[in-house]
Structure 1
Amino acid sequence: MSLTTCIGREQNLFNETTGHAYRVMFNSPILLFSDFNQLLGLDSTYYRANIVDLNYEPKEGLESAIRRITAEAERLARSGTTLLILSDRAIAKTAQVIPAAMAVGSVQQMLVNKSLRCDTNIIVETASARDPHHFAVLLGFGATAIYPYLVYESISELAKRHQLTDTTALMLNFRYGIEKGLRKIMSKMGISTVGSYRCSQQFEAIGIASDVIELCFKGVISRIEGAGFTDIAQDQAILHKAAYRAHVPLPQGGLLKYVEGGEYHCFNPDVVNTLQASLIDKNFATYKKFAELVDNRPVATLRDLIGIKGVRTPIDMANVEGAAGLYQRFDSAAMSIGALSPEAHEALAIAMNRLGGRSNSGEGGEDARRFNTERNSAIKQIASARFGVTAHYLVNADVLQIKVAQGAKPGEGGQLPGHKVSVEIAGLRHARPGVTLISPPPHHDIYSIEDLAQLIFDLKQINTKALISVKLVSEPGVGTIATGVAKAYADMITISGYDGGTGASPITSVKYAGSPWELGLAEVHQSLVENGLRHKIRLQVDGGLKTGTDVIKAALLGAESFGFGTVPMIALGCKYLRICHLNNCATGVATQDKNLRDNHYHGLPERVMTYFEFVAEEVRQWMATLGVGKFEDLVGRSEWLYALEGKTAKQQGLDLSPILYQPKVPATSSRTWQETNPPADLGQLNQHLLNECKGAVDNGEGFDATYSINNTDRSVGATLSGYIASTLGVKGTKAPIKLNFNGSAGQSFGVWNSPGLELKLCGDANDYVGKGMSGGQIVIYPPIGSPFQSERSAIVGNTCLYGATGGKFFAAGQAGERFAVRNSGAIAIVEGLGDNGCEYMTSGIVVVLGKTGVNFGAGMTGGFAYVFDQFGRFHRRVNNELVDTQKLESTIHQQHLKGLIEAHVAETGSEHAKMILSDFDNWLDCFVLIKPKNIAVADLLKLEKSSPELVVKAG
């Protein structure tokens, strides 16, 4: 981070002058006391500092005060001030304080509009910044650096109380924590430097008036009107008064965890205990008390300010749709095994299957022993992580859900702390026990709507009966995204709100992340209706649903399916202690600790079933009151909702009309889901292959045939792989099914390849070759006599072997970018590859007989690779954070590599590989072994049991 000053603006920018030397460098945007003093002590000739006081007299008013300090900042900047210090330190009992974020936003906009920002730095000296989000907001709206003086003074006071002497270390620890939090926030947006994040305004305002946005946060998205300057000033005045109240300690607040008398929490002890009592006793009257606690709570969500109109004559309950029809609309939300204990995960599946609803596996894979039993999760998730996604996993699902993002952790993806990755969980995820698992960002395999459409097509080819769902975040513009998803032939869309993230969410994701589902659901429903696509999409919502009233309101806003996450956990015994990520859940629900599970887990599927029975009964009561016999008649009837007046000025200032807007239904569509959404391309070659090979699979016979292929043939082999997996299970066919192709294959050749299926292509292939392959073999080689040099020519596209869990892959040519990302067991040999190779790899073996791109091995925690570094440049291209590189000194590894190359030559006839083998002993010095730092070289082959035949051959 640097503070800059402009010296001699008329100087040519391309000439080196003394003015270019005046730079002050800091390693962090969070200043310590010494840093701040150094700034104030800089030579005023080049770095003149002036303080702009953020305190004002109450009679002046907040808006007027902001305009005044903005004008003062402009005057100072024009007069040569380089360091504008916005400070609230001069606090007084008779004064009020301008919120630092509002001051920064207004001054930043002014400096940009007046072309003064490049000459001026904004330094914020504030007592209000204390957690990473506060610092992120100040930086995002334009602050160059921040000095949180009250935090440091509080740390110093605490150190004195506890007789700690090294106060500096404590302050550095605080700064380190904030920096780590900032990096996490920035990484969610794909931003790697503070300089890029500063002034980016990567936020959404919820419930702030347009005049405040215009003055202080111009350019920030705000979907609903809300609090104005007067409301914000009143909040500040209440806080100010509390601070000066004599002999009365300031309340703790209870922002993150429930505190008696503090901030209201939707899941408070009364709510949790009343719910659990109703389920233990199977007492609907007690459940109704729980529902009253929820439905009549202080306003905590947008739906709490929305009422339901009685627009029809009530009907008798006997004329209302039965509970069995409603259960089909209820799903348990995506909570992976790993986040939850195996017992809790299976209990949810059992409960939902018995009811007729669906449980969601989450993104952690699932034990094959649960398939075809009542313990099977009907919804199976395919997230960017691709943990344990095999052909066998995919065919044992009624719904396949693509998690593009999660509402409670937008941009962050799934993550499982290392202490929750037990031996059992590591086995399901094809990873190493004790190693933290983080999802690769979705853009590794979904760069565009076309890539998403391809993944949807892949899944529809392998499991022709499943609905394909896409999980989206309730974010601004989600309606447009959902319209694209519908056009990409998804059958179902889940809108995920900020409430949730159960089982593994860190504390940093609990607050300030995500948006209310009410905003996203309404936007998506309206967009799909107006674009004539609503009848093809089953619309689901999840995030904080608790009662039948929640279900009714969500249905009226457009949802016909509902995901419940936290409440089913509470039904299993969860006490809502917010320690899921620590692996020490006191009730055994969200832990892998066997002692806690054995001694403290008492969850029963029957209690989960009782909860949904109660919700369905409450929904039926509502339907009778509203005069509706069929649930479908509720969906999308937002005109039956109205905005409540609210009890406070801020609540009354909210404008909920964008949520309650009733879209016009085109004649060609409807307001509810009517049909599935089949793609225009039905995969004719896949159907032909299935028809030809079905008999051989059924009879356990081998098969060998040759076919022509072109680049419009996509996902070739997927339907046959699905049939093999559904018929023969995870082991696949004993006699190989050999399919030979000539030509250029389209996207996803060999996707989800099953054991026993061997695909051989003479030609080339597009992106995603072998994506998710779980066995078998894929061989790609150029035609005999091809003039191209294989080690210099691409033969397959990007993102090949993404999430592969087994099998062998040989390609006599180069691969594109993101090769073998999240490889979890496949053996692969290629002759060169692009950037980000072997990223997030957890198992398997990769051999690269040529050049690689940059960032090789980033996030790699298992498996290993051999790279032919002919020109000695690989050390510049590897990411050394988690991996070591070394020469092949072990005879065992030398022979193992030779055996792999010999197998490659046997399959592809590669001239380049033959050249290496012809003088192998001399070429050995050019090979580099890449392995995870925490695994010894001697253990690599022991851990990689996926290639015993190649090891034997090499010996």
Structure 2
Amino acid sequence: MAQGAKPGEGGHLPGKKVYPWIAEVRQSTPGIGLISPPPHHDIYSIEDLAELIFDLKNANPNARVSVKLVSEAGVGTIATGVAKGAADKILISGHNGGSGAAPRDSIWHAGLPLELGIAEAQQTLLQNGLRSRVVLEADGKLMDGKDVAVACLLGAEEFGFATMPLIAMGCLMQRDCQQDTCPAGIATQNCRLRKCFRGKPEHVVNFMLFVAEQLREVMASLGFRTVDEMVGHPECLRQVEVPGNWKANLLDLSSVLANGECEFGAHIPGAAGRHFLPQMKYDVELEKSLDSTLFLPMTEQARKHMKPVRFRADIANVNRCVGTILGAAVTKAHPEGLPDGSVTVDCEGSAGQSFGAFIPKGVTLNVTGDANDYFGKGLSGGILSVHPSEDATYKFDENTIVGNVAFFGATSGRGFVNGLAGQRFGVRNSGATIVVEGVGNHGCEYMTGGTALILGEVGLNFAAGMTGGVAYVYDEYGTLESRCNMGSVKLEVPTEAEIELIHSLIEEHVGYTQSPRGIKMLYRFEAMKQHFVKVIPVEYERVLQIVAAAEAEGKSHEEALEEAYEIVGKGRQ
């Protein structure tokens, strides 16, 4: 949720570090900087976080879901909510960590010490009877076995190391990690500098062995045989006076060294477990989901023998994350996905949250009705469509048919929405093609790839932070410029080729949703096409032009991308 060294701030990967191979992995554009937004646009409450945890467990039931929190006042209350949201692990991050990529003011002046956050989280979880349900991890410049012992006594049972292993591998702490000039060859993609790297796995292993040995010595001196025995025993710690520092000696750390009792001195029932117990872990009951009871049995032949299958299903808003377990099973059996049309499910009703989240290529889910928030989250090659039922009495293109955060983080695939979408539509889309008839505020924010076709009006702050991909907006009333965030994009008239693309997408949209608005646009396309406006990031267009010119000279696509990086990325230096 945040980083201890820079709470409340997003990360920034400068364009000169976005090499072509980095851009390929991150599904972005070479030479164009990447911004990790400080707000998580799919998480605005503890319930949203619980939904994300549920989504991830559907996507991979065997994975441990860890939630990272910053050490700060009140982190115990947040940790309690995270535990109730069925997270497997809570990581409390102290303020002492951070590399040179974090702002220096944040490194030195933001966040709180790890010990305060761990103590508060441990005590609050104990008082609410939740400590045994979740693993508690600590990180934030743990340096040696003594630091591990202190964190363990305050309540942590797992420990994260970053700075010290870097030092063991040769890091010189130049604190210029974002410059791509690391003299040790660690924080760089520069091939010449990478040759300077002298680190070996044995160096880190040796360091960790010394940490473990020092921890063993501390445990032996306190009489503990295992780490589990040692967890949550702050009575073994005491505050010491600092000679010559009268201000430090005024600190009262009694609340940090409390042992998890409530203010009246009595333990709350169920709070006796001071560390994680596997048998107490929350069960999200995935075996009772619609995917497990219906979708998996019905698609067995398609997954095993690649025989196309199509069936219908009734859904309700209590059916969350429909299609995700099916998608995970398809991906496990066929990592590259199935041929299009292999699995088609026609759903009827009101889809719950995260409908079609993460579905891969070969899976098509159609909804007759409407859908809640997170529709198509993380779409990964599949096809989604939603349209109102035939007996609906409202105008489709004037009413919201899907909730907020639709197609959040989509990487590939296609989506068609016969109606309006809520706020934060298509945020961080990096490769999907999506068609919708109108969106709320913050549409296509932080988009890095893909295509968005909006057949109606957009809300405020459209295309903020957009660094890749193209959006086409039907701007009948000329309001787009006033609602678009022009910080990184510009508005253009689509070319003839792009007008043909728009026409074909509307045809596909009508084919999936029978959209009345789409049918009208096709019928009157020659008169209406003049109202389409192209929204494209300035630097992204420049890269496309460089790549097109290089390919026209006979260069391969990879060579063209390398040339674009040299001009756009390294041109910033």
TM-score (norm 1): 0.55
CA displacement 1:457-489 (0-9 Å, x = unmatched): 101111111121110010110001111111111
3-state secondary structure, aligned to 1:467: coil
1:596 to partner: Cα distance: 0.2
1:696 to partner: Cα distance: 2.1
Matched with 1:903 is: 508
3-state secondary structure, aligned to 2:249: helix
- Aligned counterparts of 1:686 and 1:733: Cα–Cα separation in 2: 20
Matched with 1:516 is: 113
1:803 is the counterpart of 2:409: yes
- Aligned counterparts of 1:877 and 1:811: Cα–Cα separation in 2: 21
1:699 is the counterpart of 2:302: no
For the 8 Å contact 1:848–1:868, the answer to whether it is kept is yes
Matched with 1:690 is: 296
1:733 to partner: Cα distance: 5.2
1:546 to partner: Cα distance: 1.1
Q: Choose the corresponding residue for 1:636, options 227, 232, 246.
A: 232
- Aligned counterparts of 1:824 and 1:410: Cα–Cα separation in 2: 26
3-state secondary structure, aligned to 1:440: coil
- Aligned counterparts of 2:236 and 2:27: Cα–Cα separation in 1: 50
CA displacement 1:255-290 (0-9 Å, x = unmatched): xxxxxxxxxxxxxxxxxxxxxxxxxxxxxxxxxxxx
Structure 2 unaligned spans of 5+:
262-266, 549-573
For the 8 Å contact 1:718–1:752, the answer to whether it is kept is yes
Q: Choose the corresponding residue for 1:505, options 94, 98, 102.
A: 102
In 2 relative to 1, CA 935–684 (structure 1 residues): closer, same or farther, beyond 3 Å? closer
For the 8 Å contact 1:453–1:488, the answer to whether it is kept is yes
For the 8 Å contact 1:700–1:735, the answer to whether it is kept is no
Matched with 2:270 is: 668
- Aligned counterparts of 1:844 and 1:875: Cα–Cα separation in 2: 21
Aligned amino acid, residue 690 of structure 1? L
Instruction: Give runs of aligned pairs for residues 515-664 of structure 1, distance below 5 A.
Output: 515-597=112-194, 599-647=195-243, 648-664=245-261
Aligned amino acid, residue 270 of structure 2? T
For the 8 Å contact 1:475–1:515, the answer to whether it is kept is yes
- Aligned counterparts of 1:639 and 1:542: Cα–Cα separation in 2: 22
- Aligned counterparts of 1:458 and 1:835: Cα–Cα separation in 2: 24
Matched with 2:367 is: 761
3-state secondary structure, aligned to 1:611: helix
Aligned amino acid, residue 521 of structure 2? I
3-state secondary structure, aligned to 2:99: coil
1:700 to partner: Cα distance: 2.2
For the 8 Å contact 1:781–1:811, the answer to whether it is kept is yes
Matched with 1:434 is: 31
- Aligned counterparts of 1:652 and 1:938: Cα–Cα separation in 2: 59
1:443 to partner: Cα distance: 4.1
For the 8 Å contact 1:701–1:735, the answer to whether it is kept is no
CA displacement 1:290-340 (0-9 Å, x = unmatched): xxxxxxxxxxxxxxxxxxxxxxxxxxxxxxxxxxxxxxxxxxxxxxxxxxx
For the 8 Å contact 2:470–2:534, the answer to whether it is kept is yes
In 2 relative to 1, CA 474–416 (structure 1 residues): closer, same or farther, beyond 3 Å? same
For the 8 Å contact 2:101–2:175, the answer to whether it is kept is no
For the 8 Å contact 1:683–1:714, the answer to whether it is kept is no
1:498 to partner: Cα distance: 0.7
- Aligned counterparts of 1:591 and 1:935: Cα–Cα separation in 2: 23
- Aligned counterparts of 1:893 and 1:928: Cα–Cα separation in 2: 10
CA displacement 1:599-626 (0-9 Å, x = unmatched): 2012212211222122112212222222
Aligned amino acid, residue 179 of structure 2? L
In 2 relative to 1, CA 698–614 (structure 1 residues): closer, same or farther, beyond 3 Å? farther
Instruction: Give runs of aligned pairs for residues 197-208 of structure 1, distance below 5 A.
Output: none
Q: Choose the corresponding residue for 1:881, options 483, 487, 512.
A: 487
In 2 relative to 1, CA 458–517 (structure 1 residues): closer, same or farther, beyond 3 Å? same
CA RMSD of aligned residues (A): 1.8
- Aligned counterparts of 1:786 and 1:473: Cα–Cα separation in 2: 47
- Aligned counterparts of 2:94 and 2:11: Cα–Cα separation in 1: 15
1:563 to partner: Cα distance: 0.5
For the 8 Å contact 2:32–2:540, the answer to whether it is kept is no
1:785 to partner: Cα distance: 4.3
- Aligned counterparts of 1:921 and 1:489: Cα–Cα separation in 2: 54
1:940 to partner: Cα distance: 8.1
For the 8 Å contact 1:408–1:498, the answer to whether it is kept is yes
1:854 to partner: Cα distance: 0.7
1:679 to partner: Cα distance: 2.7
Aligned amino acid, residue 99 of structure 2? T
In 2 relative to 1, CA 694–941 (structure 1 residues): closer, same or farther, beyond 3 Å? farther
- Aligned counterparts of 2:440 and 2:530: Cα–Cα separation in 1: 23
3-state secondary structure, aligned to 1:466: coil
- Aligned counterparts of 2:132 and 2:546: Cα–Cα separation in 1: 53
- Aligned counterparts of 1:774 and 1:700: Cα–Cα separation in 2: 19
Instruction: Give runs of aligned pairs for residues 459-474 of structure 1, distance below 5 A.
Output: 459-474=56-71
1:437 to partner: Cα distance: 1.3
3-state secondary structure, aligned to 1:936: helix
- Aligned counterparts of 1:682 and 1:479: Cα–Cα separation in 2: 32
In 2 relative to 1, CA 833–941 (structure 1 residues): closer, same or farther, beyond 3 Å? farther
For the 8 Å contact 2:176–2:182, the answer to whether it is kept is yes
- Aligned counterparts of 2:390 and 2:140: Cα–Cα separation in 1: 57
Q: Choose the corresponding residue for 1:776, options 359, 382, 389.
A: 382
1:699 to partner: Cα distance: 1.9
In 2 relative to 1, CA 696–519 (structure 1 residues): closer, same or farther, beyond 3 Å? same
In 2 relative to 1, CA 762–822 (structure 1 residues): closer, same or farther, beyond 3 Å? same
1:934 to partner: Cα distance: 1.9
- Aligned counterparts of 2:288 and 2:501: Cα–Cα separation in 1: 39
| Percent of residue pairs bearing the same amino acid type | 44
For the 8 Å contact 2:340–2:363, the answer to whether it is kept is no
Instruction: Give runs of aligned pairs for residues 120-269 of structure 1, distance below 5 A.
Output: none
- Aligned counterparts of 1:506 and 1:694: Cα–Cα separation in 2: 51
1:510 to partner: Cα distance: 2.1
Aligned amino acid, residue 899 of structure 1? S
Aligned amino acid, residue 143 of structure 2? K
In 2 relative to 1, CA 897–738 (structure 1 residues): closer, same or farther, beyond 3 Å? same
TM-score (norm 2): 0.91
Question: With CA pairs under 8 Å and 6+ residues apart, which has the higher RCO, 1 or 2?
Answer: 2
- Aligned counterparts of 1:913 and 1:618: Cα–Cα separation in 2: 69
Aligned amino acid, residue 189 of structure 2? Q
- Aligned counterparts of 2:282 and 2:41: Cα–Cα separation in 1: 26
1:834 to partner: Cα distance: 0.2
1:677 to partner: Cα distance: 2.1
3-state secondary structure, aligned to 2:402: coil
For the 8 Å contact 1:779–1:811, the answer to whether it is kept is yes
Rg comparison, structure with higher value: 1
- Aligned counterparts of 1:695 and 1:485: Cα–Cα separation in 2: 39
3-state secondary structure, aligned to 1:541: strand
- Aligned counterparts of 1:415 and 1:500: Cα–Cα separation in 2: 17
- Aligned counterparts of 1:471 and 1:734: Cα–Cα separation in 2: 37
- Aligned counterparts of 2:499 and 2:323: Cα–Cα separation in 1: 34
CA displacement 1:49-108 (0-9 Å, x = unmatched): xxxxxxxxxxxxxxxxxxxxxxxxxxxxxxxxxxxxxxxxxxxxxxxxxxxxxxxxxxxx
For the 8 Å contact 1:813–1:830, the answer to whether it is kept is yes
1:681 to partner: Cα distance: 7.0
In 2 relative to 1, CA 710–470 (structure 1 residues): closer, same or farther, beyond 3 Å? same
Spell out structure 1 runs of 4+ moving beyond 4 A.
680-683, 732-735, 940-943
1:938 to partner: Cα distance: 10
3-state secondary structure, aligned to 1:552: helix
Matched with 1:412 is: 9
In 2 relative to 1, CA 681–712 (structure 1 residues): closer, same or farther, beyond 3 Å? farther
- Aligned counterparts of 2:77 and 2:407: Cα–Cα separation in 1: 31
Aligned amino acid, residue 275 of structure 2? T
